[in-house]
A and B are shown apart, each in its own frame.
Chain A
Amino acid sequence: MGFFDWLFPARRKAAGTEQPAPPSTAGGGSYNRSVSRRDVFKILGGAALTATACSTPFSSKEEKELARIGWEEFFQKNYREMTQEERDQVVQRLEQKARLKRGVNVNIKNTPPQEGVLFGYAINLSTCRGYRDCVKACMLENNLDEEMAMQYIRVFEIKKGKFDVEAGEAQYGHEVPAEGNFYLPMQCMHCEEPPCVPVCPVGATWKEEDGIVVVDYNWCIGCRYCEAACPYWARRFNWQEPSIPNEKLNRDQHYLSNRDRQKGVMEKCHFCVHRTREGRQPACAEACPTGARIFGNLLDPDSEIRWILENKKVFRLKEELKTEPKFFYFMD
């Protein structure tokens, strides 16, 4: 008795044999050609197709909703081309996504730049003592991936006597400040002529009107050209789906800053867009215990940062590249 006999007992009827099949004398002795192999595959294939077509691919309502959101995100416009209503819709969609994926309510903003504001940053190297509190605050504020230990800020420990950032050590783990060293924090310089922007083949990164260089995480294709172009090593790539537990999630978010990123997109320091556009200091400046970090409006002649630029000997890193960073260093 062959396999097909067992599978389709009706075939025997068609063959006119009511009795149990006689013991096969040869390998294919009782094999009848009335159902071909091709027919069997047709039936099986058809059944599989029908099963696929009739069943829903989503096991739950949430998955269906997430799939719809994913579909809409795929056809989403570039953030710069959106009207305010479209931006509001996108932000609501992202909030709904966070609700479904994480089960938490986040507040995603799309605050536009303030008029008459150009952000600048100054760091007092005499008072920076390398505590690295800014790094920690940044990681918590911006929901940076824990597994990859992503950080926007590097604090370099550099031997006194030579100003060489490349010889700096970022992973020090001893009491600070160590004798004979100084500390130089480095992050995105938010250049006026950012070299990372023109190299982007899709226009997913640009300079906002308040001088902040931002990334549209939904538009980025992850080619990493900007990472190669940045002379300050400021850009970071998501090699995997970023993960941050809900209890550590900062729910105060902005479309252009610390909302959930996906795998394969670039991110970087964005001067805490969600805070600074509301008049607050970036998280690193607020966390600095020595007050070495000064943040302010370069267009306001009475601001602290303008006084520093006018009265202190400030310098910028790699000035010869003419990137015009808005990130200044000075010493007392």
Chain B
Amino acid sequence: MKVAIIKYNAGNIRSVDHALKRVGVEALVTDDHKTILDADRVIFPGVGEAASTMEYLKERELDKLLKGLTTPVLGICLGQQLMCSWSEEGDTPCIGIFDQPVRRFPGDGLKVPHMGWNSLDRVNGALVPSELKGAYVYFIHSYYVPICEDTAAETSYMVPFSAAMQRGNFYATQFHPEKSGDPGELILKQFLKL
């Protein structure tokens, strides 16, 4: 199986690559359009800032490429947020795969960023198996996608939000499966099996 990890100006790409190796898959870290189009699975990872990352993607026309993919795509963290239509972070228009806004956590006495292990309170869909209901996964983010028709897993921090999403062949997690111990590895394996 050919797995492409989209290379861009953000952090933690290496750790996604390492996590895939742990589940037995060699991935290519690339921004080459042909390689991405040829892949069986595409992972769009990320830790970073929305506006500068969107700019980088647009310069390379990776935004259009991603939106047109027909193979299973997995966005992680900032990846999930950029697959939405707009982010409050830097008032940034995003790729628009999920027709949803990305909001900043209001604060309200709780710490921002939402950092650490939180539970998957509701799960549905193909990416997050039902046995992971209640499992803890690792989050680190200040912006979130509200609950919507594309929500595939739900977690609460001040407000309930989309911990995972799905629309057609597009999948996404707000948490980091590559850093989420055994539950995270199960989700990566599940994505490779889709």
Query: Do A and B actually bind?
Result: no
Q: Give me the interface of B with A, judged by CB distance under 8 Å.
A: none
Query: Interface residues, chain A, CB within 8 Å of chain B?
Result: none
